[in-house]
């Protein structure tokens, strides 16, 4: 009976950690250079699972063919997307996007859509030349997005906000 009393706090701690990792936040390791210079290969970021309200510019983690990809939201439901001569246009309005200048011309029409349908998102990596993103793999279902990343925890010299 004494070992139960001594072990009970450890059981509670383990349960709390499991609940936090399951429902609130969990670390994710960046694999590859598709989000460079914002994120580098092997950076560790915190995935906020509770954040389900995705907006333009959010860094999101998504499931794609049983792997986790880290990308930036470029288009939300209802948006038309076009990149012409290195300039990003959302809903026919020029958008200040620091990574589009290295992006080949693209139109959402190439994927068979005039606008991003309800329940889907258009995502791209910041390193547009080395990113497999919505231009290649198509629109991303909201249900395939695991959450947002706004905080880097490793390496320690880059500890802080992800934008």
The C-alpha torsion from 104 through 110 and 113 to 116, rounded to 10°, is -30
Whether residue 116 contacts residue 76, with contact meaning beta carbons closer than 8 Å, is answered with yes
- Judge whether 150 counts as a catalytic residue: no
Active-site pick, 48, 71, 80, 100: 71
pLDDT of residue 89: 96
Name the CATH superfamily housing domain 27-161. Umud Fragment, subunit A (2.10.109.10)
Local confidence pLDDT in tens for the 163 residues of the chain: 677 777 777 888 888 888 777 777 899 999 999 999 999 999 999 999 987 889 999 999 999 998 999 999 999 999 999 999 989 999 999 998 888 877 889 999 999 999 999 999 999 999 988 899 999 999 999 999 999 998 899 888 888 788 7
pLDDT of residue 62: 95
pLDDT of residue 132: 92
Helices (H), strands (E): how many in the chain?
Answer: 2, 12
Indicate the domain borders of the chain: 27-161
Whether residue 113 contacts residue 70, with contact meaning beta carbons closer than 8 Å, is answered with no
Q: Which helix (DSSP H) or strand (DSSP E) does residue 159 occupy? A: none
pLDDT of residue 42: 95
Active-site pick, 34, 100, 131, 134: 34
Rg of the chain on CA atoms, in Å? 19
- Judge whether 34 counts as a catalytic residue: yes
Closest CA to 64 of 155, 162, 131, 13: 131
The whole model's pTM is what?
0.88
């Amino acid at each position: 009976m004494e070992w139960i009393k001594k072990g009970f706090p450890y059981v509670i701690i383990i349960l709390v950690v499991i609940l936090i990792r399951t429902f609130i936040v969990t670390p994710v390791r960046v694999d590859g250079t598709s989000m460079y210079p914002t994120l580098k290969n092997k950076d560790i970021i915190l995935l906020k699972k509770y954040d389900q309200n995705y907006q333009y510019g959010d860094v999101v983690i998504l499931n794609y063919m049983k792997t986790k990809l880290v990308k930036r939201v470029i288009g939300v439901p209802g948006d038309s997307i076009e990149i012409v001569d290195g300039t990003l246009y959302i809903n026919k309005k020029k958008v200040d996007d620091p990574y589009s200048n290295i992006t080949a011309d693209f139109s959402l029409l190439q994927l068979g859509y005039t606008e991003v349908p309800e329940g889907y998102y258009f995502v791209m990596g910041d390193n547009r030349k080395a990113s497999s993103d919505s231009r290649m793999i198509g629109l991303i279902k909201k249900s395939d997005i695991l959450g947002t990343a706004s905080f880097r925890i490793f390496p320690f010299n880059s500890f802080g906000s992800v934008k």
